[in-house]
Amino acid sequence: MTRKALSGRESNKANIQSRVVQCALQLFREKGVDATTMETVAEVAGITKRTLYRYFPKKEAIADAYWQENVREKVAMLPELLQAYPDTRARLMAIFLDASAGLRADPEIARMHFSYQFQQLGRELEGKAGLANDFTAFLTAVIYKGQTSGDVRPDIPAEQLAWQVQLLFAGICLTWFANPDVYALEARLTEAIACFMDGAGIAH
Protein backbone atom coordinates (compact mmCIF):
# COMPACT_ATOMS: atom_id res chain seq x y z
CA MET A 1 0.00 0.00 0.00
CA THR A 2 1.39 3.41 -0.92
CA ARG A 3 2.20 6.11 1.61
CA LYS A 4 -0.55 8.26 0.10
CA ALA A 5 -3.10 5.49 0.55
CA LEU A 6 -1.99 4.95 4.13
CA SER A 7 -2.26 8.66 4.79
CA GLY A 8 -5.78 8.70 3.34
CA ARG A 9 -6.80 5.74 5.49
CA GLU A 10 -5.45 7.37 8.65
CA SER A 11 -7.22 10.61 7.79
CA ASN A 12 -10.51 8.78 7.26
CA LYS A 13 -10.06 6.95 10.56
CA ALA A 14 -9.42 10.21 12.39
CA ASN A 15 -12.47 11.82 10.78
CA ILE A 16 -14.71 8.92 11.83
CA GLN A 17 -13.40 8.98 15.39
CA SER A 18 -13.85 12.74 15.64
CA ARG A 19 -17.40 12.54 14.31
CA VAL A 20 -18.29 9.76 16.73
CA VAL A 21 -16.94 11.72 19.70
CA GLN A 22 -18.82 14.88 18.70
CA CYS A 23 -22.09 13.03 18.15
CA ALA A 24 -21.76 10.99 21.33
CA LEU A 25 -20.96 14.00 23.49
CA GLN A 26 -24.01 15.81 22.16
CA LEU A 27 -26.19 12.78 22.90
CA PHE A 28 -24.72 12.33 26.38
CA ARG A 29 -25.50 15.94 27.22
CA GLU A 30 -28.95 16.01 25.68
CA LYS A 31 -30.28 12.56 26.65
CA GLY A 32 -27.95 11.50 29.43
CA VAL A 33 -25.29 8.82 29.35
CA ASP A 34 -27.51 5.97 30.55
CA ALA A 35 -30.22 6.79 27.98
CA THR A 36 -27.73 6.87 25.11
CA THR A 37 -26.96 3.51 23.52
CA MET A 38 -24.04 2.67 21.29
CA GLU A 39 -26.57 1.89 18.57
CA THR A 40 -27.88 5.45 18.77
CA VAL A 41 -24.36 6.86 18.63
CA ALA A 42 -23.63 4.83 15.48
CA GLU A 43 -26.88 5.94 13.86
CA VAL A 44 -26.33 9.64 14.57
CA ALA A 45 -22.70 9.43 13.48
CA GLY A 46 -23.75 7.81 10.20
CA ILE A 47 -21.74 4.63 10.57
CA THR A 48 -22.52 0.97 11.21
CA LYS A 49 -22.46 -0.44 14.72
CA ARG A 50 -19.64 -2.73 13.64
CA THR A 51 -17.54 0.26 12.59
CA LEU A 52 -18.28 2.04 15.87
CA TYR A 53 -17.15 -0.93 17.95
CA ARG A 54 -13.99 -1.21 15.85
CA TYR A 55 -12.92 2.17 17.24
CA PHE A 56 -14.73 2.35 20.57
CA PRO A 57 -15.62 -0.79 22.54
CA LYS A 58 -17.86 1.10 25.00
CA LYS A 59 -19.22 4.54 25.86
CA GLU A 60 -16.44 5.13 28.38
CA ALA A 61 -13.90 4.79 25.57
CA ILE A 62 -15.59 7.64 23.70
CA ALA A 63 -15.44 9.87 26.78
CA ASP A 64 -11.80 8.91 27.23
CA ALA A 65 -11.02 9.90 23.64
CA TYR A 66 -12.65 13.29 24.24
CA TRP A 67 -10.64 13.84 27.43
CA GLN A 68 -7.39 12.74 25.79
CA GLU A 69 -7.95 15.15 22.92
CA ASN A 70 -8.30 17.97 25.43
CA VAL A 71 -5.03 16.86 27.00
CA ARG A 72 -3.32 16.88 23.60
CA GLU A 73 -4.39 20.48 23.16
CA LYS A 74 -2.74 21.28 26.50
CA VAL A 75 0.41 19.39 25.48
CA ALA A 76 0.73 21.67 22.48
CA MET A 77 0.90 24.58 24.94
CA LEU A 78 3.72 23.02 27.01
CA PRO A 79 6.37 25.60 25.97
CA GLU A 80 4.07 28.42 27.11
CA LEU A 81 3.40 26.63 30.41
CA LEU A 82 7.10 26.18 31.13
CA GLN A 83 7.72 29.84 30.43
CA ALA A 84 4.69 31.22 32.28
CA TYR A 85 5.38 29.51 35.63
CA PRO A 86 8.67 29.73 37.51
CA ASP A 87 9.00 26.20 38.91
CA THR A 88 7.61 22.66 38.98
CA ARG A 89 5.30 23.31 41.93
CA ALA A 90 3.61 26.22 40.14
CA ARG A 91 3.38 24.30 36.86
CA LEU A 92 1.80 21.22 38.46
CA MET A 93 -0.62 23.43 40.37
CA ALA A 94 -1.65 25.17 37.14
CA ILE A 95 -2.19 21.80 35.43
CA PHE A 96 -4.25 20.40 38.30
CA LEU A 97 -6.43 23.49 38.66
CA ASP A 98 -7.05 23.63 34.91
CA ALA A 99 -8.03 19.95 34.96
CA SER A 100 -10.31 20.49 37.96
CA ALA A 101 -12.13 23.19 36.02
CA GLY A 102 -12.74 20.61 33.29
CA LEU A 103 -14.10 18.17 35.85
CA ARG A 104 -16.53 20.72 37.21
CA ALA A 105 -17.64 21.72 33.71
CA ASP A 106 -18.31 18.13 32.54
CA PRO A 107 -18.35 15.80 35.56
CA GLU A 108 -20.15 12.86 33.94
CA ILE A 109 -17.78 12.77 30.98
CA ALA A 110 -14.81 13.06 33.33
CA ARG A 111 -16.17 10.22 35.47
CA MET A 112 -16.43 8.00 32.39
CA HIS A 113 -12.88 8.86 31.40
CA PHE A 114 -11.51 7.89 34.82
CA SER A 115 -13.57 4.70 34.82
CA TYR A 116 -12.11 3.70 31.46
CA GLN A 117 -8.56 4.52 32.55
CA PHE A 118 -8.86 2.32 35.63
CA GLN A 119 -10.26 -0.49 33.50
CA GLN A 120 -7.20 -0.13 31.31
CA LEU A 121 -5.00 -0.23 34.40
CA GLY A 122 -6.47 -3.65 35.19
CA ARG A 123 -5.64 -4.80 31.68
CA GLU A 124 -2.13 -3.43 32.07
CA LEU A 125 -1.63 -5.44 35.24
CA GLU A 126 -2.77 -8.52 33.31
CA GLY A 127 -0.35 -7.69 30.50
CA LYS A 128 -3.12 -7.03 27.99
CA ALA A 129 -2.79 -3.31 27.36
CA GLY A 130 -0.54 -0.30 27.65
CA LEU A 131 -1.72 2.58 29.80
CA ALA A 132 0.71 5.28 28.75
CA ASN A 133 -1.28 8.31 27.69
CA ASP A 134 -0.85 11.95 26.79
CA PHE A 135 -1.43 13.14 30.36
CA THR A 136 1.40 10.93 31.59
CA ALA A 137 3.69 12.24 28.85
CA PHE A 138 2.68 15.82 29.68
CA LEU A 139 3.46 15.38 33.37
CA THR A 140 6.70 13.58 32.53
CA ALA A 141 7.87 16.55 30.46
CA VAL A 142 7.04 18.99 33.27
CA ILE A 143 8.83 16.89 35.89
CA TYR A 144 11.85 16.30 33.65
CA LYS A 145 12.13 20.06 33.24
CA GLY A 146 12.12 20.31 37.03
CA GLN A 147 14.88 17.71 37.28
CA THR A 148 17.07 19.59 34.83
CA SER A 149 16.33 22.86 36.63
CA GLY A 150 17.17 21.43 40.03
CA ASP A 151 13.85 21.55 41.93
CA VAL A 152 12.93 17.85 41.47
CA ARG A 153 15.16 14.98 42.60
CA PRO A 154 16.96 13.41 39.62
CA ASP A 155 17.49 9.88 40.98
CA ILE A 156 13.97 8.66 40.13
CA PRO A 157 12.91 8.55 36.45
CA ALA A 158 10.64 11.42 35.46
CA GLU A 159 8.02 9.03 34.07
CA GLN A 160 7.83 7.16 37.40
CA LEU A 161 7.32 10.43 39.26
CA ALA A 162 4.70 11.43 36.70
CA TRP A 163 2.77 8.23 37.47
CA GLN A 164 2.82 9.10 41.15
CA VAL A 165 1.45 12.57 40.43
CA GLN A 166 -1.21 11.16 38.12
CA LEU A 167 -2.34 8.64 40.73
CA LEU A 168 -2.60 11.40 43.34
CA PHE A 169 -4.73 13.40 40.94
CA ALA A 170 -6.94 10.43 40.04
CA GLY A 171 -7.52 9.46 43.67
CA ILE A 172 -8.60 12.96 44.62
CA CYS A 173 -10.88 13.20 41.59
CA LEU A 174 -12.56 9.88 42.38
CA THR A 175 -13.23 11.04 45.94
CA TRP A 176 -14.70 14.28 44.59
CA PHE A 177 -17.00 12.34 42.24
CA ALA A 178 -18.45 10.54 45.26
CA ASN A 179 -19.39 13.75 47.06
CA PRO A 180 -18.81 16.86 44.94
CA ASP A 181 -20.94 19.17 47.07
CA VAL A 182 -18.79 18.93 50.18
CA TYR A 183 -15.37 17.73 49.00
CA ALA A 184 -12.96 20.64 48.58
CA LEU A 185 -11.43 19.61 45.26
CA GLU A 186 -9.04 22.50 44.69
CA ALA A 187 -7.85 22.49 48.32
CA ARG A 188 -7.10 18.75 48.21
CA LEU A 189 -5.23 19.14 44.92
CA THR A 190 -3.14 21.93 46.42
CA GLU A 191 -2.29 19.72 49.41
CA ALA A 192 -1.36 16.85 47.08
CA ILE A 193 1.10 19.00 45.17
CA ALA A 194 2.61 20.24 48.43
CA CYS A 195 2.98 16.67 49.68
CA PHE A 196 4.56 15.54 46.40
CA MET A 197 7.02 18.42 46.26
CA ASP A 198 7.86 18.65 49.99
CA GLY A 199 7.26 15.09 51.20
CA ALA A 200 5.11 14.02 54.12
CA GLY A 201 7.96 13.29 56.51
CA ILE A 202 9.48 15.71 59.00
CA ALA A 203 13.22 16.17 58.91
CA HIS A 204 14.98 15.56 62.26
Amino acid letter, residue 163: W
Give the residue-averaged pLDDT of 164-168: 92
pLDDT score of 145 more than 80: yes
pTM more than 0.85: no
Residue 141 covered by a domain? yes
Verify that 82 and 110 share a domain, yes or no.
yes
**Do 193 and 123 fall within a single domain?**
yes
Residues 175 and 104 occupy one common structural domain: yes
135 pLDDT band, cuts 50/70/90, is confident
Q: Considering the domain boundaries, does residue 204 fall inside one?
A: no
Give the Cα separation of 12 and 54 in Å (integer): 14
Contacts of 66 (CB under 8 A, 6+ apart): 21, 25, 109, 113
Range of the domain at 158: 59-198
Q: The domain that contains 133 carries what CATH number?
A: 1.10.357.10
pLDDT at 134: 82
Same domain, 51 and 127: no
Better-predicted residue by pLDDT, 153 or 9: 153
CB atoms within 10 A of CB 201: 6
pLDDT for the residue numbered 144 = 97
Instruction: Find all residues with CB under 8 Å of 84, minimum gap 6, and list them.
Output: 94
pLDDT of amino acid 5: 54
Whether 183 shows a pLDDT value over 60: the answer reads: yes
Domains: count for the chain: 2
- 49 and 67 inside one domain: no
